Amino acid sequence: MIGQINGLFGVQGWVKLFSYANPRKNILSYKPWHIEVDGVWTTLEAIKGREQGKTIVAQLKGVNDREVARNYIGTELYIERSQLPKLPEGKYYWDELTNLEVINTNNILLGKISYMVDTGSNSVMVINGDNEHWVPYIEPFLISIDMDKRQILVDWDENF
């Protein structure tokens, strides 16, 4: 997911976007966007877009009034993976980490990564198993990632 439509802006189908891109205005460079509405995938195209204060706004092709645009509020925006830059060896996009098993240095399975959170100072793996663990995605807690085994090794107490 690259972003979400989270409100209306002005008239003629302009929408406010929450962007996960870094920097956030880069969401406008990814085209097209894909959305799922009522179980059906469709494509959206931004005709125009810009930063507007602390948000991003875009005018959608074929969306010419506020009532049509209102139907898209809360819709998540997706792009093709091929649009993303290739990461260096040992770096991963968050969605690549989702569902990886996480074990600690005592070989205890903590669970699987449900999702990642950006806290501002670092990213955090939210791991669900018997308990929920919020483990910082940084050294010294993150020891290794084995994508072949789909497993992450962490230095984290299972009772914490």
Are 75 and 15 in contact, with CB atoms under 8 Å apart?
no
- The DSSP bridge partners found for residue 5 are 17
> Does the predicted model carry a pTM greater than 0.85?
no
Q: Which two tokens stand for residue 140?
A: 């010294």
Q: What confidence tens digit (pLDDT) does each residue in 86-120 have? A: 899 999 988 899 999 999 999 999 999 999 998 88
Please state, in angstroms and rounded to a whole number, the distance separating the CA atoms of residues 143 and 145.
7
Amino acid 3: pLDDT: 84
